[in-house]
A and B are shown apart, each in its own frame.
Chain A
Amino acid sequence: MSLSDSIELSISGPINVSISGMSCSDAAEAKCPEMPSAIEREVMSLFEEFRDPLLRYAFSFGIPMHDAEEITQEVFLSLFRHLQLGRSRRNLRGWLFRVTHNLALKQRYKNKRLGDSMDHEEALVETQQDPLPNPEQMVSFAQRQRRLLAVVYALPDADQICLRLRAEGFRYREIAEIVGISLGSVSISLARSLARLMRADDAC
């Protein structure tokens, strides 16, 4: 299955037609864990924890930062609706990344058609600005980073995604679920990517 085949919009029903949770009085809050305010607090807490990793992940798809930000916001609104409907709370981190993955893929596809894709060179340029105490170290380190990033951006999509998700701390099984590939494919993909990264210095 290709990545584009795995696109899944996890928003069910009309986007703005909201089905709100049960309303409870403040006094009854303790007996009513599903009240919106409790879910809002939970979503905001998850936002604090996962906003940066999700934004980083969405941005790594090569879409403009403003698109990545919109996707991240939409993901948390979807999470709110997901929780409001009392759906599964199992592995919400994986759920968040899976929805981000699908929306980012869709956005990238849309941008490509509109000719609004971001040049990865922009990211490479950014890495040259990393501050390090020693100028020689700075040049050497920046060069190494540029070589690694050049290799990463040359990897097939699925390999890049597996590598980035692993760097975000996901286990192979979770990566397989998010990307929609087999466990064995994740393992092979990571081994192949690391082999290429290890050869990054040889290319110069």
Chain B
Amino acid sequence: MSIANIGESIRFEGSLSGLEDVLVDGDVKGTIRLPECSLTVGPTGRIHADVEARNLTVRGRITGNIVCLERMRLCNTGSIDGDVKTPRIHIEDGAVVRGRIEVAKAPPSSEAAPPTGTDFPSTKAARSPDS
């Protein structure tokens, strides 16, 4: 699967969603919805957004509420300020956490994971212009 990369110099504001894994090294403000995919926030990544992702790896900073559908990893350089809902979480020594953490077994994914047919309606994914 391809990975969309939001580079270090990119600043994005709006709603980010899609069917690709995303790596954020820049700044993202708004909302991020990747219920089928993985989101990685690199060490320089800064996110001010409510985040929904299947898998989430945080090496940078997230400010906002997080819903993770599978597993979440907060690395030692990572920092989160907001509430977290996830079935599995791993927090490394050194990570900064401020907020509520709810570890709940796989949430009923009725609206969280929409049925994905082959013809996904016009992906309104915002990507870094690097095609």
Partners in one complex: no
